[in-house]
Amino acid sequence: MQEPQINPWSSTPSLDIEKTFAEFGIDPIAPVLPELPEIPYFMRRGIVVGHRDYLPIARAIRNKSPFHILTGFMPSGHPHLGHLMVMKEVVWHVQQGGSGYITIADREAHAVRGLSWEKCDEYGKEYLACLYALGFEGQTYFQSRNNRLKDLAFEAATKVNFSELSAIYGFGPDTDLAHADSVITQVADILYPQIDREPAPTVVPVGVDQDPHIRLTRGIAHKMRMFTVEERDGYISVRSKNAPEATMEAVKKAFPHAKKYEGHVDIKGAQCTDVKAKVREIERAHGGFAFFTPSSTYHIFMPGLTGGKMSSSIPESFISFHEPEAMVRKKVMSAITGGRMTLEEQKRLGGEPDKCSLYLLNLFHMVTDDAELAEIRRKCTAGEITCGQCKKETAERVVAFLNDFREKMDAAKDRIRI
């Protein structure tokens, strides 16, 4: 069994982001940002740092052309502040014109974490309430109740074998089939907006630990296509190993200067993007899966309050949305900070905000104003504020945020359908 470098179910990875990006071919997002008409705070502040093929999404936003945004949540516990970033990314993309999709990965929670279906429903509804509280508009579904999704997962499963899953996820002889099935269901989730609505660029915001799902899905999406379209020496070649004769003929007829050969059609005097769009239309009309290869963005992780990763299995490391106020204050006041050992050192050397779980909590969610955040950073590094005072101020922000957010979650409950 080949051991994968990153794995969506591990609770431990503290990854060297640059090394991981280089190893898995993830690109830094900064060069793409000028394409966006407006740069959201999570990209501006260096929270979302990487991508695969985000350019078509940025251009779709700029040109107001169709695109989809999808993400999924495994309902294995109560949602908490660690889940908020992906939710905000989805909502922002919907506000930029994307059609939004949320999948509740109850099949994964049942297969991988052994959760009962009742618990999956309970937690899944909480995730949806959070999304609606943030202003989400779009489609939501539970995997176990979506039969079109299951049919698509079956089709996707014809394009992958167990050796490939082992290489990507480290599956071995003891891996049960439901776990493998839940992976294929997630592949189907990522492709689902393109069969539910229309083929269009689709972006999936994830943490880097979820990249195996993205890589697998991109490979399967490619294999499910009938055609490849490539520019070669002044002409465009549309190739297929499996398209029926009538479909190849339809491609030839669509272009005035096309010539049809065994397994390919060559076209002169056309734009590659126009050929791709037309071929996709023909593929779809002839019963094929005209998928755009999915795109993804990657965010850094907000550290847990105890240091390390924010994890549902370490209650002190996170703050859930229904945490009692006294507990919220206690957790914030006990959090690991970037403060020095003594007050004298703190004043002399200043704190280390980049190592501070509370500074990062403010950067991710609690301080929306850039100037206010910069002032917190300045006072910290200049030694002008003690961690005790800073903790108290952060606790006030978190309590105010949660009070407001809980009200919005309660107001959203009627919108939840399963």
170 vs 353, which CB is nearer to ligand SF4?
Answer: 353
Contacts of 411 (CB under 8 A, 6+ apart): 133
CB of 334 to ligand SF4, least distance (A): 12
- Tokens representing 137 are 């508009």
Give the residues lining the site for ligand SF4 (CB under 6 A). Answer: 337-339, 351, 353, 356, 358-359, 380, 385, 387, 390-391
Contacts of 24 (CB under 8 A, 6+ apart): 5, 6, 211, 215
Separation in Å, CA 107 to CA 146, 150, 189, 364: 11, 11, 12, 30
22 vs 349, which CB is nearer to ligand SF4?
Answer: 349
- Tokens representing 330 are 């206690």
94 vs 363, which CB is nearer to ligand SF4?
Answer: 363
Contacts of 34 (CB under 8 A, 6+ apart): none
379 vs 408, which CB is nearer to ligand SF4?
Answer: 379
Long-range CB pairs of 269-276 (<8 Å, 24+ gap) are 270/236, 272/229, 272/231, 272/236, 275/229, 275/236, 275/238, 276/229
Contacts of 32 (CB under 8 A, 6+ apart): 51, 54, 55, 58
202 vs 337, which CB is nearer to ligand SF4?
Answer: 337
Q: Sign of the C-alpha dihedral, residues 311, 317, 319, 325?
A: positive
CB of 377 to ligand SF4, least distance (A): 7
CB of 381 to ligand SF4, least distance (A): 8
CB of 221 to ligand SF4, least distance (A): 43
- Tokens representing 119 are 């618990």
Residues 182 and 108 sit within 8 Å (Cβ to Cβ): yes
CB of 347 to ligand SF4, least distance (A): 11
254 vs 332, which CB is nearer to ligand SF4?
Answer: 332
CB of 68 to ligand SF4, least distance (A): 38
385 vs 402, which CB is nearer to ligand SF4?
Answer: 385
Compute the distance between CA of residue 93 and CA of residue 82 in angstroms, rounded to an integer.
19
CB of 405 to ligand SF4, least distance (A): 22
CB of 339 to ligand SF4, least distance (A): 4
CB of 208 to ligand SF4, least distance (A): 25
30 vs 343, which CB is nearer to ligand SF4?
Answer: 343
251 vs 358, which CB is nearer to ligand SF4?
Answer: 358
CB of 383 to ligand SF4, least distance (A): 9
275 vs 385, which CB is nearer to ligand SF4?
Answer: 385
